Amino acid sequence: MLRKSPAMDSPQHTAFYRFTPLADPAAAAATLRELAQGLLGAIVVAGEGVSGALAGSKETVAAFEAALQQAEVLGGALRGMAFKHSACAVAPFGRLKVSVKPEIVALGLPDEHGAVDEHDASHLAPAAWRELLARGDAVVLDNRNHFEYRLGHFRGAVDPQVHNFRDFTAYVEARAPAWREAGRPVAMYCTGGIRCDKTAPWLRSLGLQVFQLEGGILNFFDRMPDAGRDWLGECFVFDRRIALDTALRETATGIEQVYDPALPDEAWRLKRARQLDVSSGDDPG
């Protein structure tokens, strides 16, 4: 069982991302590393933008978020960025890690298929998302890993059986013709919105009408006090809290209940999670 960190009593978790072209990701990473001092977690920087999940005191988190909004930070590219907050009973991360990678989220998508637009009309606020689901004509598509779906999902959602990052594209490509012929829109969701934002242009390139849950599952839980009407189970999070309920509270779910050791892609995740659970090193994202 994880113990509270004495240096991070009742931390606040913040998650964020922004798709924006960065000419010098390494320089951007250095700036973000300096601004994030006093926080623990992970930030990924790439030519396509920034993604992060951090935790610390509410005051430190607020100061970091305010700093990112300043015009001089990355040329003002992060102004107006949305942050998703949740409370923590335990320290969700063991250290601060800022990495430069080829992509802020790797999904194995085909070649260029259109620019990401985080604010286009395909984004539905939680109340509008509920209305779309109630219509019953949409393909409700879970854009997450199979083990995440298994732990919890929207009622009526389909599981693309994602065991590696290319499974999602194979699943959609095989079914897109039938969805088009039936005139069925795709209502897509993920944890915080980043996977859907990156995937939506590709789905549209297949001739599909796409809607996505604005801010993802975490935003739905935050905005809808009765989220349990639409959601079954828990929501997996990539940190030491493991899972949240629809009130954004940590649950008692442990790693042994998340990963199936009989599946190769989950066996290595379980092994890594066990190592991180007893280590003060890497975060488990």
Please list, in sequence order, all residues whose beta carbon lies within 8 angstroms of the beta carbon of residue 169, skipping any fewer than 6 positions away: 107, 108, 109, 110, 202
Q: Of the listed 88, 190, 196, 235, which one is catalytic?
A: 190
Residue-range domains of the chain with CATH: 12-100 (3.30.70.100), 123-273 (3.40.250.10)
DSSP letter for 173, please: H
Alpha-carbon gap, residue 215 to 254, rounded angstroms: 25
Mean pLDDT of 111-136: 90
First to last CA, the chain: 18
Question: What's the one-letter identity of residue 202?
Answer: W
Residue 46 clears pLDDT 60, i.e. is over it: yes
Residue 49, pLDDT > 70, answer yes
User: Is pLDDT of 232 > 80?
Assistant: yes
Nearest alpha carbon to residue 212 among 236, 232, 190: 190
What's the mean per-residue pLDDT of the chain? 91
pLDDT at 274: 87
For the chain, the farthest-separated pair of C-alpha atoms sits apart, in whole angstroms, at 58
How many C-beta atoms lie closer than 10 Å to residue 276's C-beta? Answer: 19
Mean pLDDT score, 31-35? 97
Whether 190 is catalytic is yes
pTM, rounded to two decimals:
0.91
Question: What torsion, rounded to 10 degrees, do the Cα atoms 63, 66, 71, 74 define?
Answer: 70
Residues 166-182 have a mean pLDDT of 96
Report whether 53 contacts 238 (CB < 8 A). yes
